[in-house]
Amino acid sequence: MEMRSDDAVSARPRKASRWARWSSGEAPVGRLLAALLGIAIVALVAYLVIVERENIFTVDASTEVAAFRITDPLLSEWTLGPARLIEDPFADVAASRNLADQSLLVVEPGTRVRLQRHGVGQLRIQLTADAGTTAGRVELADSSRISLGDWALLLVEVAGRPLVFPFRGTLAVGDDVAAGVDSIMLNGTVSVVEEQLLGKTHYVAGGEALDTGDRVQLWNKAPYGSVEPEPAVVSGFVRAEAMEGFSEPVNALTLVAHGQADYVQVERLGSAGYHIHAPHWARFLHDPLLAASTAIIALVALLFEVLSKCGVLIGGNTGKHEKESGAEVEPDDRGRAALRPEARPGEQAALTREEENPK
């Protein structure tokens, strides 16, 4: 006995919704969009991590010695206290020249300056220029001036008021600890701020404490075609506190310098020294743009996970609804899925006899 044609309904299996297929990654368009979005975000994060940015270092130190080479004469005009001037490196103090209070020292560009002070004693300013050039001049209170040669030493008394010496040039703080060295760095810190990719704002990218006896220099990487790094030019000041004055006396010299550089080199006794720079991985902690991009990646990953789960639930509910509606999927004679309603109660016996006695 054959089933009536109106009782046999052939149909293809019902497909899951587009939303379920897209969210579960089954749809080609969904997979393509997800892949493109993931590649774009990963490329953005890689660019934010790898790209070079401007680093500004700050050296804040208490030191007995500091040396720098002047590059800008506008910041190198210093008011002195009572001082004694020695113009011959082989002469003794008795052959020095007295300078009155409020004398003005003007240092020429290219001059190497070395400041040295122990405790709250007198300040030593040593000037060295290239042979045959002048290190600068001293302008006295009576409008007269003293031209200096390529070497000069000033012994300055710090009394009644602090002395401040601004400068712009290449810098070295402290000295190598060795036999015969009597002036070293006492303590200090180095901090670095890094430029954000967008805008003119900066953020703190790290810092390092310095030990007694360290020697610090700021450097830029070697330019193209060269193997030697170049000293970085920084701006700063050195302050010498008076023993008796309106501020609290401070031992040695206080130095603060800021400047753009690629790294800071720290030379330390008993080790090969090390470099201080802004590490790329630190940007994940300090760069707001990179932190936001990382958060977006996490949110997108979570969103796709939720959509995938929703697609599975939607597909499961669709299959359950079809099963509860009384339809079952069977392959037809052409290998396609067909839906056949369950046999009616009156036809169940006939179907059973037909199965037991096939033709």
* Residue-level pLDDT, tens digit, the chain, 359 residues: 444 444 444 444 555 555 455 555 555 665 677 677 777 777 777 776 666 778 899 999 999 999 999 998 888 999 999 999 999 999 888 889 999 998 999 999 999 999 999 998 999 999 999 998 999 999 998 889 999 999 999 999 998 889 999 999 999 999 988 888 999 999 999 999 887 766 667 777 888 999 999 999 999 988 888 889 999 999 999 999 987 766 667 889 999 999 999 999 999 987 878 999 877 776 777 777 777 777 777 787 787 777 777 766 766 555 555 555 554 444 555 444 444 455 455 555 555 555 555 55
| Range list of H helices, 155-259 | none
Alpha helices per DSSP H over the chain: 18-23, 28-50, 283-286, 288-324, 348-356
* Tokens describing residue 250: 């401070």
Q: Could you tell me if 115 and 125 are in contact, meaning their C-beta atoms sit under 8 angstroms apart?
A: yes
Contact 356, 348 (CB under 8 A): no
What is the DSSP annotation of 250-318?
-SSEEEEEEEE-SEEEEE-TTS--EEE---GGGHHHH-HHHHHHHHHHHHHHHHHHHHHHHHHHHHHHH
Q: Which helix (H) or strand (E) holds 66?
A: strand 65-70
Task: Answer whether 217's CB lies under 8 Å from 244's CB.
Answer: no
Cβ-count burial of 106 within 10 angstroms (0-12 exposed, 13-18 middle, 19+ buried)? middle
Cα 223 to its chain centre, rounded Å, is 21
Q: Please, which residues have CB within 8 angstroms of residue 25's CB and are 6 or more apart in sequence?
A: 31, 34, 308
